[in-house]
């Protein structure tokens, strides 16, 4: 982190020095950002991070540039005092190419241009300063206090030892305080509170301990806060009336930041907060009833910034999560039960198929008159009876459809499984009678 900051600092410094040396075109913040990436700071993907980084670069560059320009101006002024008006003008021009709003550099450049090439620069300078002094007094007598102060300030800066100019500058400064106060008072009467504060603070900088100015500023700031709070409150009420609860919530929070004691805004904020919270809770309950537990939990989570009863929301969320767990357990249990039944059914079908195969083989032997192989079934199990009954029913279907051979096969198998089954015996006797006929 320290290395990155140092690289940033050096990159900004190099940029500013090159601007003075070669007067290049001022780079944009985006190009500066791309150049700084090459110093090893790395790439940034998030747009907000880029914006913050570029703003940091801009502020740091501005600080370095301002400090450097002040030092360069001092060098230019030293050239001016030494009578080197050519270099004083050149340095002032370079300062203005970087910062066109540098008023002292503009003043120094103008003075250096007037004195450059003069055969008697001392006399020329005296005449120039006298002209500026007279111009400042003329402006002062015309009531143009601010312009007069600026012009007399130029005389003092160009000639720091000019006692007369210093005296008039102090006098004008005192009047300038009254000027700012009057301007502020006029703007306050027009309900331009920000403009009034700007002027009052200018007056306060001249007379830092003037109780009258301090009281006036306090009154204007109170009115400005009240006006700002009322504007925010009206906007919040419009949002509330149109159902934009979150916008109304943000607006009311802004009102209370400006006017913490506003009871109307406080009560309305409580109502809006409750409506937002209840809306989330109601939507969550509806989703819970539809068994959309994840969506319900999300709604209740959104309600947290607006609730005064966090434990209640935590209970709702915990209940939904518990229900999700129970549903998952039930789903798993059903899946396991279905798998078990499928296995049992498969095993039963295999057993029946094996028994059917064996019974068919035995029936085929009996029809051919061959000896019956294998042990004779002496006892009949319940499972054999059920299986025999199924074969009997199959044989009955064949019998009803006049397919007597198939019926005999089925009943023969049934007899082998359940020799004591009278229905099977009767069916076989009927088949024998049909054959005898």
Q: Give the CATH number of the domain where residue 424 resides.
A: 1.25.40
Same structural domain, 264 and 367: no
**Residue 375 pLDDT > 70:** no
Distance of CA 56 to the CA centre of its chain: 20
- In percent, the amount of the chain with pLDDT more than 70 equals 84
Same structural domain, 387 and 424: yes
Instruction: Give the range among 2-11, 55-64, 124-133, 208-217 with minimum mean pLDDT.
Output: 2-11
Q: How far apart are CA 145 and CA 180, in angstroms?
A: 10
- End-of-domain residue from the set 82, 117, 152: 117
**Residue 54 pLDDT > 90:** no
CA-wise closest residue to 117 among 83, 69, 94: 83
Q: How far apart are CA 201 and CA 190, in angstroms?
A: 18
13 or 367, which is more confident?
367
Q: Is residue 282 part of a domain?
A: yes
Q: What is the DSSP string of 140-174?
A: HHTT-HHHHHHHHHHHHHH-TT-HHHHHHHHHHHH
What's the N-to-C CA distance of the chain in angstroms?
Answer: 111
Q: Under 8 Å CB-to-CB from 64, ≥6 apart: which residues? A: 9, 12, 13, 16
**Residue 58 pLDDT > 60:** yes
- The residue-averaged pLDDT of 252-260 equals 89
pLDDT in tens, 158-204: 888 889 989 998 888 888 898 999 999 999 999 999 999 999 999 99
- The residue-averaged pLDDT of 234-250 equals 91
CB 389 within 8 A of CB 414: yes
What is the reported pLDDT for 366?
Answer: 58
- The residue-averaged pLDDT of 412-416 equals 88
Using CA atoms, how far residue 278 sits from 275, 282, 304, 322, 347, in Å, is: 5, 6, 11, 22, 57
Q: How far apart are CA 410 and CA 159, in angstroms?
A: 133
Contacts of the segment 328-331: beta carbons below 8 A, 24+ positions apart: none
Instruction: Give the range among 216-230, 271-285, 336-350 with minimum mean pLDDT.
Output: 336-350
Q: Is residue 58 part of a domain?
A: yes
Instruction: Give the range among 60-69, 125-134, 292-301 with minimum mean pLDDT.
Output: 60-69
- How many structural domains does the chain have? 3
Same structural domain, 26 and 79: yes
Same structural domain, 15 and 89: yes
Same structural domain, 325 and 408: no
- The residue-averaged pLDDT of 7-16 equals 47
pLDDT in tens, 96-125: 898 888 888 888 888 888 888 788 888 888
361 band by pLDDT with thresholds 50, 70 and 90: confident
Q: Is residue 138 part of a domain?
A: no
Q: Is residue 209 part of a domain?
A: no
- The residue-averaged pLDDT of 348-364 equals 75
- Other beta carbons within 10 Å of 435: 9
Same structural domain, 320 and 351: no
- Other beta carbons within 10 Å of 33: 18
**Residue 11 pLDDT > 70:** no
DSSP 308: S
Q: How far apart are CA 99 and CA 332, in angstroms?
A: 74
- Other beta carbons within 10 Å of 63: 11
The helix/strand/coil state of 118 is coil
317 or 111, which is more confident?
317
Q: How far apart are CA 337 and CA 331, in angstroms?
A: 10
What is the reported pLDDT for 181?
Answer: 92
- End-of-domain residue from the set 63, 94, 117: 117
What region does 301 belong to: left with phi over 0, alpha with psi -120 to 50, or beta?
alpha
Q: Is residue 106 part of a domain?
A: yes
For 232, the token pair is 């925010």
Could you identify the residue written with the tokens 């801009």? 58
- The residue-averaged pLDDT of 39-57 equals 66
Could you identify the residue written with the tokens 């969550």? 284
Same structural domain, 361 and 314: no
Mean pLDDT of the chain: 82
**Residue 84 pLDDT > 80:** yes
Q: How far apart are CA 69 and CA 74, in angstroms?
A: 9
DSSP 378: -
- The residue-averaged pLDDT of 11-38 equals 45
CB 142 within 8 A of CB 135: no
**Residue 407 pLDDT > 50:** yes
Instruction: Encode burial over 136-171: b for 16+ CB neighbours within 10 A, e otherwise.
Output: beebbeeeebeebbbbbbbbbbbbeebeebeebbee
Same structural domain, 1 and 100: yes
329 band by pLDDT with thresholds 50, 70 and 90: very high
What is the reported pLDDT for 105?
Answer: 86
CA-wise closest residue to 396 among 410, 416, 417, 413: 410
Instruction: Encode burial over 311-340: b for 16+ CB neighbours within 10 A, e otherwise.
Output: eebeebbeebeeeeeeeeeeeeeeeeeeee
- End-of-domain residue from the set 79, 98, 117: 117
302 band by pLDDT with thresholds 50, 70 and 90: very high
Range picked from 16-20, 114-118, 151-155, 296-300 for highest mean pLDDT = 296-300
Helix (H) or strand (E) holding 398: helix 382-400
Q: Is residue 177 part of a domain?
A: no
Rounded CA Rg of the chain: 51
The pTM score is 0.48
Domain coverage including residue 100:
1-117
Q: Is residue 100 part of a domain?
A: yes
Same structural domain, 264 and 314: yes
DSSP 304: G
Using CA atoms, how far residue 301 sits from 182, 294, 306, in Å, is: 56, 11, 10
What is the reported pLDDT for 367?
Answer: 58
Range picked from 4-13, 353-362, 377-386, 425-434 for highest mean pLDDT = 425-434
What is the reported pLDDT for 83?
Answer: 83
Q: Counting runs of H as helices and runs of E as strands, what totals does the chain give?
A: 17, 0
- In percent, the amount of the chain with pLDDT more than 90 equals 31
Same structural domain, 354 and 279: no
């Amino acid at each position: 982190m320290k290395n990155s900051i140092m690289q940033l600092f050096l990159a900004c410094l190099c940029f500013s020095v090159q601007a003075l040396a070669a007067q290049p075109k001022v780079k944009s913040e985006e190009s500066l950002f791309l150049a700084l990436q090459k110093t090893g700071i790395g790439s940034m993907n998030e747009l907000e991070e880029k914006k913050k980084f570029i703003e940091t670069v801009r502020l740091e560059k501005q600080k370095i540039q301002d400090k450097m320009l002040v030092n360069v101006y001092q060098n230019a002024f030293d050239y001016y005092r030494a009578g080197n008006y050519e270099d004083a003008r050149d340095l002032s021009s370079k300062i203005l190419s970087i910062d066109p709003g540098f008023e002292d550099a503009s003043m120094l450049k103008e003075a250096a241009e007037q004195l450059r090439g003069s055969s008697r620069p001392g006399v020329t300078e005296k005449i120039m300063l006298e002209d500026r002094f007279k111009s400042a007094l003329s402006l002062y007598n015309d009531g143009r206090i601010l312009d007069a102060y600026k012009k007399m300030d130029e005389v003092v800066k160009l000639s720091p030892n000019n006692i007369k100019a210093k005296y008039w500058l102090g006098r004008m400064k005192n009047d300038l305080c009254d000027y700012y106060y009057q301007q502020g008072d006029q703007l306050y009467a027009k309900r331009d509170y920000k403009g009034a504060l700007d002027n009052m603070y200018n007056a306060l900088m001249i007379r830092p301990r003037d109780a009258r100015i301090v009281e006036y500023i306090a009154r204007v700031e109170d009115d400005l806060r009240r006006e700002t709070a009322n504007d925010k409150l009206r906007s919040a009420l419009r949002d509330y009336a149109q159902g934009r609860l979150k916008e109304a919530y943000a607006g009311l929070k802004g009102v209370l930041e400006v006017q913490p004691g506003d009871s109307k805004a406080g009560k309305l904020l409580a109502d809006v907060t409750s409506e937002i919270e209840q809306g989330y809770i109601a939507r969550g309950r509806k989703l819970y009833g539809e068994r959309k537990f994840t969506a319900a939990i999300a709604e209740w989570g959104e309600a947290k910034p607006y609730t005064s009863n966090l434990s209640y929301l935590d209970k709702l969320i915990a209940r939904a999560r518990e229900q999700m767990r129970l549903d998952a357990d039930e789903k798993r249990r059903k899946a396991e039960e279905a798998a078990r039944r499928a296995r049992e059914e498969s095993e039963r079908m295999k057993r029946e198929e094996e028994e059917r195969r064996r019974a068919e083989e035995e029936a085929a032997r009996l029809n051919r008159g061959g000896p019956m192989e294998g042990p004779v079934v002496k006892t009949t199990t319940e499972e054999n009876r059920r299986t025999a009954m199924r074969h009997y029913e199959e044989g009955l279907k064949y019998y009803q459809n006049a397919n007597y051979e198939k019926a005999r096969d089925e009943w023969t198998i049934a007899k082998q499984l359940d020799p004591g089954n009278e229905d099977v015996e009767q069916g076989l006797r009927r088949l024998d009678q049909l054959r005898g006929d």
